[in-house]
Amino acid sequence: GNSVTQMEGPVTLSEEAFLTINCTYTATGYPSLFWYVQYPGEGLQLLLKATKADDKGSNKGFEATYRKETTSFHLEKGSVQVSDSAVYFCALGDSGGGADGLTFGKGTHLIIQP
Amino acid sequence: KAGVTQTPRYLIKTRGQQVTLSCSPISGHRSVSWYQQTPGQGLQFLFEYFSETQRNKGNFPGRFSGRQFSNSRSEMNVSTLELGDSALYLCASSEGFGAGELFFGEGSRLTVL
């Protein structure tokens, strides 16, 4: 079945540091890939997505590239801010029609210190 | 456009009771999915409804059920509650059926004592 693996953290960085959160996946076919973010006390919000190999999703300074050869979708940001502190989830959508809903990683808790 | 609305936001039940959670999707969205979020298991897919029909179901026991109404609003029900059912239950809506872009509500936090 489908699975997503990501570093769980917590990951603690100083403001303006470079961020990488690794995400790798196992799936059949050509799934869509997503990064969702969950701020304290809130539901999940879509951060960015990519639907095919070599696509780059980007939003709010965050980027991730769909790498089929390494089955990865790592999240990066060049300069993080305190407001980026949240839990980040990597997810994949079944290309076969979503029979299992979205498959999520366990989430990475990111803490940015001023 | 209003977002996904879930009620109640917090509730406490005791073992053996049942609970009903409600979700109002974004206007125009016809698909509603439910997820359970726990610290140990993370986010797990419960089921998806589209046009009042359950289209997909995750690996949960029959105590977990749901339904969708003609206005796309959805409810999920958990009967004979167990301590392990304590979780944040998240509802998400989308325009179409299948695992595309989901818009999540803030969740209903259930505590079972």
For A52-86, what is each residue's pLDDT tens digit? Answer: 999 999 999 999 999 999 999 999 999 999 999 99
Return the closest-CA partner of residue B45 out of A94, A33, A42, A32: A94
The reported pLDDT for the residue numbered A6 is: 95
pLDDT tens-digit map of A34-45: 999 999 888 899
Rounded to whole angstroms, the maximal C-alpha distance in chain B is 38
Whether pLDDT at A17 is above 90: yes
User: Tokens representing B15?
Assistant: 């073992």
B102–A102 CB contact, under 8 Å = yes
Whether pLDDT at A100 is above 90: no
**DSSP result, B64-113:** EEEEE-TTS-EEEEE-S--GGG-EEEEEEEESSSSSS--EE---EEEEE-
B9: contact with A, CB 8 A cutoff:
no
User: Tokens representing B112?
Assistant: 């079972």
Residue of A nearest to B6 (CA): A43
Whether pLDDT at A12 is above 90: yes
Contacts of A105 in chain B (CB under 8 A): 42
Whether pLDDT at A98 is above 70: no
A103–B45 CB contact, under 8 Å = yes
- Contact call for residues B23 and B73 (beta carbons, < 8 A): yes
pLDDT category at A8 given cuts 50, 70, 90 is confident
pLDDT category at B36 given cuts 50, 70, 90 is very high
Contacts of B58 in chain A (CB under 8 A): 100-101
Q: Minimal Cα–Cα distance from B6 to chain A, Å?
A: 10
Say how many CB pairs under 8 Å bridge A and B.
64
- Contact call for residues A56 and A65 (beta carbons, < 8 A): yes
B99–A101 CB contact, under 8 Å = yes
Whether pLDDT at B99 is above 70: no
The reported pLDDT for the residue numbered B80 is: 97
Q: What percent of chain B has pLDDT over 90?
A: 81
SS3 state of residue A84: helix
User: Tokens representing B57?
Assistant: 């179901």
Return the closest-CA partner of residue B47 out of B38, B39, B56: B56
B48 closest CB neighbour out of A32, A101, A103: A101
